[in-house]
Chain A
Amino acid sequence: DGGITQSPKYLFRKEGQNVTLSCEQNLNHDAMYWYRQDPGQGLRLIYYSQIVNDFQKGDIAEGYSVSREKKESFPLTVTSAQKNPTAFYLCASNPTGVHEKLFFGSGTQLSVL
């Protein structure tokens, strides 16, 4: 079945540690996105990529980094510079960009130890 796979489902980070969240899609979509959701809040865009080897900052990119070396994969690294990383992280994709509906992965809950 086609879809978006995020892993792990739960992740714990120690102070000063970088962690990487995985996102893989087999939908052949060009565009991929990372969102952060805090309790009771909407989704906020961290980074997005519309094509391989290219990505753009979203509204809250500070303390995060991404890469897009393959069309199927868009990993997100939460660096030690992100001082409040505890949140629910959602990866999404759509065929070509912002005028189309988003398909979401099942999310990763990141918590700080």
Chain B
Amino acid sequence: RKEVEQDPGPFNVPEGATVAFNCTYSNSASQSFFWYRQDCRKEPKLLMSVYSSGNEDGRFTAQLNRASQYISLLIRDSKLSDSATYLCVVNIAYSGAGSYQLTFGKGTKLSVIP
């Protein structure tokens, strides 16, 4: 089983639509979760950290489901400028106890269409 999995998309949605991405992770001991946005040939930029209680930042809402080991990102009222690849990042335990590594999903590509 891959450690961090995302649907690669592409998701093509009209402006104003609501779109949701999921990301599953393999390690139940994971403690930190993030969503990054990456534009083509640019560096990833932090969109949101994901907290246990869920969190919202404007049109963006992130949720964590520890029981099912997934995180989600909801984008409401999509804008053309939301077109990008969205990367899920989870710290995954490896080798000895207490050893973690930030692990990236392959990303989900979103295209918002006029």
Interface residues of A (CB under 8 A from B): 33, 35, 40-45, 58, 88, 90, 97-102, 104-107, 109
Contact = CB atoms under 8 A, between A and B. Distances in A.
Instruction: Kindly list the 10 A-B residue pairs having the minimum CB-CB distance in the complex, ordered from nearest.
Output: A104-B43, A42-B106, A42-B104, A43-B104, A98-B100, A99-B32, A98-B91, A98-B102, A107-B43, A101-B46
Contact of A98 (B45, B46, B101, B105): B101
Contacts of A33: 102
Given A90-B44, A99-B91, A107-B42, 4 more contacts: A42-B105, A98-B102, A102-B46, A106-B42
Interface in B23-46: 31-32, 34, 41-46
Interface in B6-62: 8, 31-32, 34, 41-46, 49
A102 B8 CA distance: 22
Contacts, number: 50
B71 interface: no
The contact size tier of chain B is: 20 to 34
Contacts of B49: 101
A42 B25 CA distance: 14
Nearest to B102: A98
A42 B87 contact: yes
Nearest to B8: A40
A45 B4 CA distance: 14
A106 B42 CA distance: 6
Nearest to B49: A101
A27 to B, nearest CB: 14
Of listed B31, B87, B104, B106, residue having the most chain A CB within 10 A: B104
A99 B93 CA distance: 11
Given A41-B106, A42-B87, A109-B41, A99 B100 contact: yes
A42 B107 contact: yes
B3 to A, nearest CB: 10
